[in-house]
Amino acid sequence: MKFSILRIAFLSATSFIVALCFTVVPCEAQNPTIAPANYDEALVPQYVLPDPLVAEDGTKIETPEQWREKRRPEILELFKKNMFGQFPEADLSKVKSEETVSVSDSLGGKATRKEIKIYFDAPNEFPQATVLLYIPNDRQGSVPVFVMPNFQGIHTTTDDPSVSAYKVENSTHNLDKTLDDVRGKAKSRWAFDMIVSRGYAVATVFYEEIEPDVMCNFTRGVHPLFTNFDLNADDYPATIGAWAWGLSRVLDALGSVDGVDVKKAIVAGHSRLGKTALWCGANDERFAAVISNNSGCGGAALSRRQFGERVDRINASFPHWFTKKFHEYGDKVDQLPIDQHELIALIAPRPVYVASASEDLWADPKGEFLSALNADPVYRLLGTDGFGGVTEQPDVNAPVGATIRYHKRAGGHDVTDFDWEQYLNFADSIFKK
Ligand code: GCU
What is the mean predicted confidence (pLDDT) over 300-327? 96
Distance 297 CA to ligand 1 centre (A): 8
Please say whether the beta carbons of 300 and 373 come within 8 A: no
Higher pLDDT, 169 or 196: 196
Q: Is the CB of 301 under 6 A from ligand 1?
A: no
Return the pLDDT at 30.
52
Half-sphere exposure of 390 (CA within 13 A, CB side): 26
Cα distance between residue 353 and residue 370, in whole Å: 13
Half-sphere exposure of 432 (CA within 13 A, CB side): 0
Cα distance between residue 313 and residue 216, in whole Å: 19
Q: Is the CB of 314 under 6 A from ligand 1?
A: yes
Return the pLDDT at 382.
98
Return the pLDDT at 21.
34
Cα distance between residue 139 and residue 150, in whole Å: 26
Tens-place pLDDT, residues 103-132 = 999 999 999 999 999 999 988 878 899 999
Distance 271 CA to ligand 1 centre (A): 6
Residue 252: Cβ-neighbour burial (10 angstroms; 0-12, 13-18, 19+): middle
Return the pLDDT at 350.
99
Return the pLDDT at 11.
39
73-431: in CATH 3.40.50.970? no
Contacts of 324 (CB under 8 A, 6+ apart): 234, 236
Tens-place pLDDT, residues 171-201 = 887 655 778 888 999 999 999 999 999 999 9
Return the pLDDT at 33.
55
pLDDT at 418 over 80: yes
Q: Give me the sheet containing 400-401, strands edge to edge.
A: 96-106, 111-119, 128-136, 201-205, 143-147, 260-270, 289-293, 352-357, 404-409, 400-401
pLDDT at 63 over 60: yes
Q: Is the CB of 296 under 6 A from ligand 1?
A: yes
Q: Is the CB of 127 under 6 A from ligand 1?
A: no
Q: Whose CA is nearest to atom 13 of ligand 1?
A: 271
Q: Is the CB of 272 under 6 A from ligand 1?
A: yes
Q: Is the CB of 361 under 6 A from ligand 1?
A: no
Q: Is the CB of 292 under 6 A from ligand 1?
A: no
Ligand 1: residue of 151, 207, 271, 368 to mutate (most ligand atoms within 8 A of CB) is 271
- pTM (2 decimals)? 0.93
By annotation, the residues acting in catalysis are 271, 413
Measured from the Cα of 271, ligand 1's closest atom is 10
Return the pLDDT at 216.
87
Q: What is the phi/psi pair of residue 149, to 5°?
A: -70, 160
Cα distance between residue 85 and residue 200, in whole Å: 33
Ligand 1: residue of 362, 368, 414 to mutate (most ligand atoms within 8 A of CB) is 362
Distance 84 CA to ligand 1 centre (A): 16
Residue 318: Cβ-neighbour burial (10 angstroms; 0-12, 13-18, 19+): buried
pLDDT at 356 over 90: yes
